[in-house]
């Protein structure tokens, strides 16, 4: 269901007519695609999502000028499988990318490879976590700045600078280790994304392009310069259910806790780490603003579909948890915005269930390019155009950690997930069911209630394609 956000300026019929006219004039010009992806952005922690603390004017502007999806999910709440699902339009089990140590094999076609065939210049600038050598580090995209195999690898400026000033980079991911630093953000591993993206857009002003700008922030370790920390010092609140009784923790949550000691983080440390985390979000928002300014300055904005997303969220203390690898909203949820005033009017909020796997088919439809017929994502095009409510959609997410396999299915009303720990080749099962309409903060697991039986049977039917795996090399 799409509804107009009451905080956004409504778009009048006259303007829609103007857009319609523009569309007919520009119909033959191929649409540019700009995907801006961050890493580990909690789906509730930006202004347009209703967060009263977050200072994110650029992400908010994208939402104001586009469609914000409030029920969007990654397909595996950890980097590599999530990213590979997004790039192939397929689930983890289909591409056999379960965890961060599983590379995507060349037999799967990525968004970049596919769009190259239609005359697009395609690039990923920044992190994508490709692994291997040669073409495996590109998967059909140009890689001017990014992973270690790219022409200019991320992190080199940072390590050179740290060597020069005799400091050690922060490697401790714990919220207890959160710190303010003063080294110039230009040497940050994300510091090259804006200049390289600007150059790419300028160089390809006359070519259709598909550009992914992929930031590492606001991924831990929790560290930001004083300017951004200062935006939040003393303004941040404790998260929901921050000191839980652990009754809704899965076995994998307990394992993470035994490694990272979430239950030993004090209230003061939670607040401090969240101030820093918010600061990192504002830093990346500022970078996004610079890319969008350049797009506008080049006169390309009208003919570009801009998408904002993240590879997964960050629990940031919600339910007493940090990082990801769980199916709670803070981890498996993602910010998800589509903006293109030429194609659909802005200020819209959609509650349709969707996620990064739907990007590939949606972009094909927006660019008027035939979709590959083996995609597992579903196009959002009819929802974006307001022709379908999207209320009947559902989506999956998977997760594999050590000897625990997990799968989630989310529809309009329910979130159902299972974890299957395996010991001595025998799987056990943990079951979670939340009513997302009545309990959006996921406080009450209804799986054991007799009245939940029919809902669970239905969710299990949807999940029947999925199998736990014994060994994932995670
Ligand atoms: Ca990630």
Angle at 426 between CA 421 and CA 427, to 5 degrees: 35
**Cα(22) to centroid of ligand 1, in Å?**
38
Helix 193-203 × helix 267-297 angle, to 10°: 20
Task: State both tokens at 157.
Answer: 């400026």
**Cα(40) to centroid of ligand 1, in Å?**
5
Asked if 337 and 69 count as a contact pair (C-beta separation under 8 A), the reply is yes
Distance CA 72, CA 355 (A): 5
**Cα(52) to centroid of ligand 1, in Å?**
25
Distance CA 47, CA 51 (A): 5
| Residue 380, CA distances (Å) to 28, 358, 405 in order | 22, 7, 29
**Cα(395) to centroid of ligand 1, in Å?**
20
Distance CA 464, CA 216 (A): 35
Mind listing the pLDDT tens digit for each residue in 140-185?
999 999 998 788 888 888 888 888 888 888 899 999 999 998 777 7
**Cα(35) to centroid of ligand 1, in Å?**
16
What's the pLDDT score for residue 10? 31
**Cα(311) to centroid of ligand 1, in Å?**
5
Q: How much is the pTM?
A: 0.93
Asked if 73 and 352 count as a contact pair (C-beta separation under 8 A), the reply is no
Give the CATH class of 2-393: alpha beta
**Cα(313) to centroid of ligand 1, in Å?**
8
**Cα(12) to centroid of ligand 1, in Å?**
39
**Cα(401) to centroid of ligand 1, in Å?**
15
How many helices (H) and strands (E) in the chain?
14, 17
Residue with tokens 């200062």: 230
Distance CA 448, CA 432 (A): 9
**Cα(79) to centroid of ligand 1, in Å?**
4
What's the pLDDT score for residue 471? 66
Task: State both tokens at 10.
Answer: 């409504």
Asked if 222 and 42 count as a contact pair (C-beta separation under 8 A), the reply is no
Mind listing the pLDDT tens digit for each residue in 436-448?
999 999 999 999 9
442: left (phi over 0), alpha (psi -120 to 50) or beta: left
Distance from the Cα of residue 109 to its chain's centroid: 21
Mean pLDDT of the chain: 91
**Cα(47) to centroid of ligand 1, in Å?**
22
What's the pLDDT score for residue 107? 96
Asked if 353 and 411 count as a contact pair (C-beta separation under 8 A), the reply is yes
Per-residue pLDDT tens digits of the chain, which is 474 residues long: 555 543 343 332 223 333 333 344 444 689 999 999 999 999 999 999 999 999 999 999 999 999 999 999 999 999 999 999 999 999 999 999 999 999 999 999 999 999 999 999 999 999 999 988 889 999 999 999 999 878 888 888 888 888 888 888 889 999 999 999 877 777 888 999 999 999 999 999 999 999 999 999 999 999 999 999 999 999 999 998 888 788 899 999 999 999 999 999 999 999 999 999 999 999 999 999 999 999 999 999 999 999 999 999 999 999 999 999 999 999 999 999 999 989 988 899 999 999 999 999 999 999 999 999 999 999 999 999 999 999 999 999 999 988 899 999 999 999 999 999 988 888 899 999 999 999 999 999 999 999 999 999 999 999 999 999 876 555
Mind listing the pLDDT tens digit for each residue in 360-415?
999 999 999 999 999 999 999 999 999 999 999 999 999 998 889 999 999 999 99
**Cα(15) to centroid of ligand 1, in Å?**
39
**Cα(320) to centroid of ligand 1, in Å?**
20
**Cα(62) to centroid of ligand 1, in Å?**
22
What's the pLDDT score for residue 9? 34
**Cα(102) to centroid of ligand 1, in Å?**
14
Domain positions in the chain? 2-393
**Cα(301) to centroid of ligand 1, in Å?**
28
């Amino acid at each position: 269901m799409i509804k107009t956000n009451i905080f956004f300026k409504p778009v009048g019929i006259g303007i829609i007519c103007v857009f319609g006219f523009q569309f007919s004039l520009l119909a033959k010009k191929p649409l540019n695609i700009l995907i801006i992806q961050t890493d580990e952005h909690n789906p509730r922690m930006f202004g347009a999502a209703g967060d009263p603390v977050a200072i994110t004017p650029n992400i908010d502007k994208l939402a104001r000028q586009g469609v914000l999806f409030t029920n969007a999910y990654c397909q595996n709440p950890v980097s590599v499988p999530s990213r590979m699902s997004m790039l192939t339009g397929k689930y983890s089990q289909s591409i056999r990318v379960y965890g961060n140590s599983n590379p995507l094999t060349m037999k799967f076609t990525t968004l970049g490879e596919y769009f190259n065939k239609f005359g697009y210049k395609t690039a990923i600038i920044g992190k994508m976590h490709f692994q291997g050598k040669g073409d495996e580090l590109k998967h059909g995209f140009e890689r001017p700045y990014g992973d270690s195999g790219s022409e200019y690898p991320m992190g080199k400026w940072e390590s050179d600078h740290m060597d020069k000033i005799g400091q050690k980079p922060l490697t401790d991911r714990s919220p207890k280790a959160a710190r303010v630093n003063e080294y110039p953000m230009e040497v940050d591993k994300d510091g090259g994304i804006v200049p390289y993206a600007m150059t790419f857009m300028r160089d390809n002003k006359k070519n259709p392009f598909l550009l992914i700008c992929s930031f590492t922030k606001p991924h831990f370790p929790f560290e930001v310069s004083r300017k951004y920390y200062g935006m939040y010092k003393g303004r941040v609140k404790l998260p929901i259910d921050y000191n839980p009784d652990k009754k809704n923790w899965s076995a994998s949550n307990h394992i993470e806790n035994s490694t990272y000691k979430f239950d030993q983080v004090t209230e003061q440390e939670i607040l401090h780490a969240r101030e820093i985390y918010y600061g990192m979000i504002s830093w990346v928002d500022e970078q996004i603003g610079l890319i969008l300014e350049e797009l506008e300055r080049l006169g390309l904005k009208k003919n570009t579909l801009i998408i904002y997303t993240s590879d997964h969220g960050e629990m940031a203390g919600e339910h007493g948890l940090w990082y990801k690898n769980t199916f709670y909203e803070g981890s498996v949820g993602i910010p998800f915005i589509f903006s293109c005033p030429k194609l659909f009017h802005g200020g819209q909020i959609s509650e349709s269930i969707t996620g990064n796997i739907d990007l590939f088919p949606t972009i094909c439809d927006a660019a008027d390019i035939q979709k590959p017929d083996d995609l597992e994502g579903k196009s959002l095009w009819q929802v974006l155009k307001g022709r379908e409510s999207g209320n009947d959609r559902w989506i999956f997410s998977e997760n594999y950690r050590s000897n625990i396999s997990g799968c989630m299915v989310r529809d309009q009303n329910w979130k159902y997930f299972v974890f299957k720990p395996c010991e001595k080749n025998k799987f056990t099962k943990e079951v979670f069911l939340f009513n997302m309409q009545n309990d959006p903060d996921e406080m009450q697991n209804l799986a054991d209630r007799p009245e939940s039986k029919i809902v669970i049977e239905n969710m299990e039917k949807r999940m029947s394609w999925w199998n736990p795996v014994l060994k994932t090399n995670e």
